[in-house]
Chains A and B, each alone.
Chain A
């Protein structure tokens, strides 16, 4: 990385902005702030922004509206959404509108930085995807369509492979049920099938399928594959 990544924080709470500014600056990010959606969108137009941290509960134009305006305007800037607890619907809507990930308030800095890193990495990967994914026990060779767990090859059905391939492509990011279904099955219904495939996939790749570490469930939202090493 040559220049510092530029992060725009849109949040109406000065305390949150202050704490993000301090902590992100300490991690060598360059930080811009906006206290409402309109100002934030204007700043996105004027400046080259690498990551947007967007609060969903903004006064006036809310976070979802900002996100929609942004994506409708053709911007593909990575977006991390700040949401409140008990707002699974809001999270899913934000993700379906093109947010990259979310953190739930209150959150630790660690968690936010991990999400930011994953989102940025994913953008970079899209330009030149690595041929082999390695994360924990799991290795996926995209060229040879080869899946190994702790050195042993695992046989997957084509659908299972497609599912794992999608998770690997977005490793570290949460994927909504709807997104996965659309990408793998071409339909958005039948979450049931997805649950069953995740279950069988876990049985094949997890050391302890009942306490999975590779494919994690975000209850009410979707699934997340652990980030690559």
Chain B
């Protein structure tokens, strides 16, 4: 073997990795009560306590056995919780107390126990799951008859059906399974000695249960189940460690379930088969046109069988198809199933008369897939009708439909009688038309009634001797017989067409709704709109109250709901949080917290849970029928994807913003390092020259060096001032202190401040007379204007003109600063206001900070004005225009002027 082939299997490693951080589960498995599981568990825990410490008793039932009682001494016992149920106080394991105590190991007796109604989980094994998930090790005990997959077998052996079952998956996932074994003889002996405890009510059942044959069979089951597990462990170990071995080819088992009562048993059979083959398995329900006529009981049975499959660790799938055989075979082939399990009687004899048996069809077309045909009455203990009538429409009981059908027959009869007047006696087709019509309008059962009525009427009125039900002519007997057959077939066919039409319409409606929903979601870009649309749609299509919860900090919070006023109390939010964390349903009708008012379901995408939907209705009973559940899943999937899309879009925006910030930051760093260092270099250089070469420098040189120190220091000062202004702008710290200002006053002071930078330019000032007073922050405005003047000086040559004008234009004042430089490159007209953007210029070496214009614009906008740049129309040069609104009450200014 090459090394390549000996690599550990990724699946096996993943399985191992997934189990890290979980608590370890050890199951003490016994064949029957009384074999000493609890005793064994306590002895071993005692051993472990000596080794590692921190072991507590969650729940241990000693049933007063002295040996066992003694063993519990010295252990810390978590007190049980009292639960009041129907006036009785029940003591249950206190899950929260254990979670809070967080011991290393907790002992939990009787894994299959059913909790009192109102507990967090209906079953104790779910409590154990939660303990394990919280990293607490658990020792527990279990009798083999409580295992779900062995339930039927045990029931067959012992004739006692155990109601409390535990999914096999929990035993599969247990880290250790210890078989507590006792020979049947010893066990019977112990029983005689009174060492086996039964609740009083079970006394009689126990008499039947504890017979040597049963005990031997149960013992064998327990041994076999343990051996199977040991085998599986070994295989996992060998796979994880890349030990070569004779692996079976990848067998896959598919079990076909339907509305028959035996489906759940069939699923258990498939699970046992898959176990033996070490194969993965799935249960499939093929939804054909019959689905529309299923009764609620039948739907429940299908849903139950699918749930059983899920609990037993199989995949549960529903596929739509034209007929059973097509659906199963195409699903099996496209998913590489190697074995199919079907029940022997998939069709009643009546329907087999018309249709080929689906089982035969599957066998015929199965190719190289092995087909297991299992007797339908696998489990006699299961209740349910043995014989199934053809699609039993609820309309069968609808009297108006029958009346309508009979009315049609009556019309046919009248027509026939009329025709007889004109000596046309062959009116069978007229009746057939009535049968077909009632099939189309009312469905199968009313049309069958029409068949019967037609046959009788035809016989009575049209077959001699007339007006009797006797038929004289044998030829007519044959005719009536065939008429009846044709009528039945025709009504069956039309009813099917009609049913398909109904399904198609319902499908089309659901598809249409889903499509519209998807389209609606696609057009929504904010999370709030999206959540609102989704909750509205859920509420409308399911006719329930709906809330949507999204994660918020540590917990989840209601973000949308329909009707919108719904609020959740603390417990309900806690349940929703649980759903968010586990990705599994909780609340009304679910496995967890089934007593809640709301049902919470996760919204999932491939990347995980994105939110939680809460459903509630004032009507009692199941919140969602299986059909609605499927519809909900489809809707929730769409909504989850849309939420993920919006979240992703936000992430992308955030990233883009980050990138932009990053770009600015690096520009800032470049700018700072350049703009701070350059003047500093000149200052340091000049100053050190002055100090070092004082004696040798002549006065002119000294003056030059001093001048450059001053000039560069001022440049540095301006740059830092700009940086500070920019920082103030960006941090939103600019709060303009608006006052009514005389514009010429601010222009004057700005020009005075700029007198140094504009010393070599010719400044022209043209302020229109009678300018109104403006609401400005004088300090900010002076700075904004100074920056424009500074910019004009930088980008135009010496001795050129810088013109400042102000005019009133349509209720606004425009102040512009024009220079006579080379103007702004057309592409840069807006970009010059970007931070750190400097127009690339070849002839002008006076680089600015790249901040001045951005600051000007920021300040002007903070005062409610605008600042724009363009090129002069009357010659070369740029013009910057500040436009300011004229405040309403400036009368005072006008008067004084």
| Residues in A lying within 8 Å of B, measured CB to CB | 85-86, 88, 106, 108, 191-192, 195-200, 208-212, 216-220
* Among candidates A196, A197, A211, residue contacting B752 with C-beta atoms closer than 8 Å: A211
- A197 contact set on B, CB distance < 8 A: 896
Docked pose: A220 CA to B728 CA in angstroms: 18
* Among candidates B717, B779, B892, residue contacting A220 with C-beta atoms closer than 8 Å: B779
Q: Is B748 an interface residue, CB under 8 A from the partner?
A: yes
- A220 contact set on B, CB distance < 8 A: 737, 778-779
* Among candidates A108, A192, A217, residue contacting B892 with C-beta atoms closer than 8 Å: A192
Nearest B residue to A85 by beta-carbon distance?
B721
- A108 contact set on B, CB distance < 8 A: 710
B744 touches A88 (CB 8 A): no
B741 touches A106 (CB 8 A): no
A209 touches B744 (CB 8 A): yes
With an 8 Å Cβ cutoff, the count of chain B residues facing the other chain is: 29
A192 touches B740 (CB 8 A): yes
Q: Which of B712-762 contact A (CB under 8 A)?
A: 713, 717, 721, 724, 728, 737, 739-742, 744-749, 751-752
Nearest A residue to B782 by beta-carbon distance?
A219
Nearest A residue to B776 by beta-carbon distance?
A219
- B742 contact set on A, CB distance < 8 A: 195-196, 199
Q: Which of B751-784 contact A (CB under 8 A)?
A: 751-752, 765, 767, 773, 778-779, 782
A106 touches B748 (CB 8 A): no
Q: What is the CB-to-nearest-CB distance from A221 to chain B, in angstroms, rounded to a whole number?
A: 9
Q: Is B293 an interface residue, CB under 8 A from the partner?
A: no
Nearest A residue to B753 by beta-carbon distance?
A219
- A86 contact set on B, CB distance < 8 A: 724, 728, 779
Q: Is B897 an interface residue, CB under 8 A from the partner?
A: yes
Q: Is B589 an interface residue, CB under 8 A from the partner?
A: no
- A216 contact set on B, CB distance < 8 A: 749, 752
Docked pose: A219 CA to B751 CA in angstroms: 12
B752 touches A195 (CB 8 A): no
Contacts A196-B896, A210-B767 given; does A219 touch B746 at CB 8 Å: yes
Nearest A residue to B747 by beta-carbon distance?
A210
Docked pose: A108 CA to B721 CA in angstroms: 16
B752 touches A85 (CB 8 A): no
- A209 contact set on B, CB distance < 8 A: 744
* Among candidates B717, B737, B745, B896, residue contacting A217 with C-beta atoms closer than 8 Å: B745
A219 touches B749 (CB 8 A): yes
| Majority secondary structure, B binding face | helix
B748 touches A195 (CB 8 A): no
A211 touches B748 (CB 8 A): yes
What are some 29 contacts across the A-B interface (CB < 8 A)? Answer: A86-B724, A86-B728, A86-B779, A106-B713, A191-B739, A192-B892, A195-B740, A195-B742, A196-B892, A198-B745, A199-B742, A199-B897, A200-B896, A208-B765, A210-B744, A210-B747, A210-B765, A210-B767, A211-B748, A211-B751, A211-B765, A216-B752, A217-B778, A218-B749, A219-B746, A219-B778, A220-B737, A220-B778, A220-B779
Docked pose: A179 CA to B95 CA in angstroms: 77
Q: Is B893 an interface residue, CB under 8 A from the partner?
A: yes
Q: What is the CB-to-nearest-CB distance from B434 to chain A, in angstroms, rounded to a whole number?
A: 98
Docked pose: A200 CA to B893 CA in angstroms: 11
- B746 contact set on A, CB distance < 8 A: 217, 219
Nearest A residue to B895 by beta-carbon distance?
A196
Docked pose: A106 CA to B897 CA in angstroms: 38
> What 13 additional pairs, Cβ within 8 angstroms, besides A192-B740, A210-B747?
A86-B779, A88-B779, A106-B713, A196-B742, A196-B892, A199-B897, A200-B896, A210-B767, A211-B748, A211-B752, A217-B748, A217-B749, A220-B778
Contacts A196-B893, A210-B765, A211-B751 given; does A219 touch B739 at CB 8 Å: no
Nearest A residue to B743 by beta-carbon distance?
A210
Nearest B residue to A199 by beta-carbon distance?
B742
Interface centre among A191, A198, A199, A218 (most CB of B within 10 A): A199
Docked pose: A197 CA to B745 CA in angstroms: 12
Q: What is the CB-to-nearest-CB distance from A146 to chain B, in angstroms, rounded to a whole number?
A: 24
Docked pose: A218 CA to B750 CA in angstroms: 10
Docked pose: A86 CA to B747 CA in angstroms: 19
Interface centre among B713, B744, B773 (most CB of A within 10 A): B744
Contacts A86-B724, A196-B893 given; does A212 touch B741 at CB 8 Å: no
Docked pose: A106 CA to B709 CA in angstroms: 14
Q: What is the CB-to-nearest-CB distance from A15 to chain B, in angstroms, rounded to a whole number?
A: 13
Q: What is the CB-to-nearest-CB distance from B169 to chain A, in angstroms, rounded to a whole number?
A: 70
Q: What is the CB-to-nearest-CB distance from A114 to chain B, in angstroms, rounded to a whole number?
A: 15
Docked pose: A216 CA to B892 CA in angstroms: 22
- A192 contact set on B, CB distance < 8 A: 740, 892
- A211 contact set on B, CB distance < 8 A: 748, 751-752, 765
Nearest A residue to B745 by beta-carbon distance?
A217
- B717 contact set on A, CB distance < 8 A: 106
Nearest A residue to B733 by beta-carbon distance?
A86
Docked pose: A54 CA to B540 CA in angstroms: 75
Docked pose: A9 CA to B380 CA in angstroms: 108
- A208 contact set on B, CB distance < 8 A: 765
Nearest B residue to A195 by beta-carbon distance?
B742
B748 touches A210 (CB 8 A): yes
B896 touches A85 (CB 8 A): no
Docked pose: A172 CA to B570 CA in angstroms: 72
Contacts A85-B721, A86-B724, A196-B896 given; does A219 touch B779 at CB 8 Å: yes
Q: What is the CB-to-nearest-CB distance from A172 to chain B, in angstroms, rounded to a whole number?
A: 16
Docked pose: A133 CA to B852 CA in angstroms: 41
Contacts A196-B892, A199-B897, A219-B782 given; does A85 touch B747 at CB 8 Å: no
B740 touches A85 (CB 8 A): no
Nearest A residue to B752 by beta-carbon distance?
A216
Q: What is the CB-to-nearest-CB distance from B676 to chain A, in angstroms, rounded to a whole number?
A: 15
Docked pose: A217 CA to B779 CA in angstroms: 11
- A195 contact set on B, CB distance < 8 A: 740-742, 745, 773
